[in-house]
Structure 1
Amino acid sequence: MLKTKLTHPEIIGALGKLGHGSQVLIADGNYPIATGTNPSATHVFLNLTPGIVSATDALRAIVDMIAIESAAVMVPDSGKEPDIFDEFRYNLPQGLALRPLNRAEFYATARDANTGLVIATGEQRIYANILLTIGVVG
């Protein structure tokens, strides 16, 4: 029996295959999973109903499993920061800044071959996508 907080077998397996520099996308319920991600990545669909599972729930589970080197977010064209960014900061390792990307940059980065795990959530807040780059342990 696992003693970790994360028990989802497909996510655990995918994380075990990734390494330093690999990326994990946690996507909100509006994100174009089929066209906006690396097709060879492991895709896990946790979007059971609107709001379940939330992006922050998924982030909390992942943060306990991997070292995080960086975290990128998609910023709105308006430049106004969504409230969920504060929740992301709260759940990330202390001192890790969010790297803002415009929509085109974020989609291009998420489609990159380095994105090895995509988690689709039921998050309903807009711009609630976060792209984590795995760091080194040690």
Structure 2
Amino acid sequence: MKKAGILNRHLCGALAELGHTDEVLVCDAGMPIPDGPRVVDLAFRAGVPSFAEVLDGLLAELVVEGATAASEVREANPRAAALLEGHFPGLALVPHERLKELSRGARLVVRTGEARPYANVLLRCGVFF
């Protein structure tokens, strides 16, 4: 049994399968999930687990070379915008409709219980060497 890090076996296994340039969508409870990507749904109740908790846990285990979020996040959810811009100084911002289109290419979708708007980010995996 693992004693630290991500304990969810489905999420842990999905992360281990990712490679360089694979994309992971971390999304709120309301984001439409496209057909195709593997989905690990962590949503339990509204707000549980939060977008911030899940993102922090993922970033502790993934190498991320780029991130894309919806430009609407700055006005509609300043807390999520500050979190994303703090983690990703080169954060790319696109209209929400474009983010939904881009998410179709994700290899993995991690759905949180977040109930605030636009708490979504598309992560591009890097390499550790």
Figure out how many residues of one structure are paired with residues of the other and give that number.
Answer: 128
Match of 2:66 in 1: 70
How many angstroms apart in 2 are the aligned matches of 1:105 and 1:74? 8
* Partners of 1:56 and 1:88 within 8 A in 2: no
Q: Which runs of 4+ in 1 moved over 6 A?
A: none
Letter in 2 for 1:100: L
* The one of 30, 40, 43 aligned to 1:44: 40
CA offsets per residue over residues 67-123 of structure 1, 9 Å max, x none? 00011101229x736311112233x2xx632110112210111012xx111011110
What pairs with 1:1-138 in structure 2 (closer than 5 Å)?
Answer: 1-33=1-33, 37=34, 39-76=35-72, 80=75, 82-83=77-78, 84-90=80-86, 92=87, 96-112=89-105, 115-138=106-129
Letter in 2 for 1:10: H
Identity of aligned residues (%): 27
> Root-mean-square deviation (CA), in Å?
1.8
Report the 3-state secondary structure (helix = DSSP H, G, I; strand = E; otherwise coil) of the residue aligned with 1:2: coil
Q: Please, what TM-score do these two structures have when normalized by structure 1? A: 0.84
Unmatched runs of 5 consecutive residues or more in structure 1: none
Higher helix share: 2
Unmatched runs of 5 consecutive residues or more in structure 2: none
* Deviation at residue 61 of structure 1 after TM alignment: 0.8
Letter in 2 for 1:13: G
* Partners of 1:70 and 1:96 within 8 A in 2: no
How many angstroms apart in 1 are the aligned matches of 2:84 and 2:4? 21
Q: Please, what TM-score do these two structures have when normalized by structure 2? A: 0.90
* Partners of 2:37 and 2:104 within 8 A in 1: no
Report the 3-state secondary structure (helix = DSSP H, G, I; strand = E; otherwise coil) of the residue aligned with 2:75: coil
How many angstroms apart in 2 are the aligned matches of 1:82 and 1:51? 14
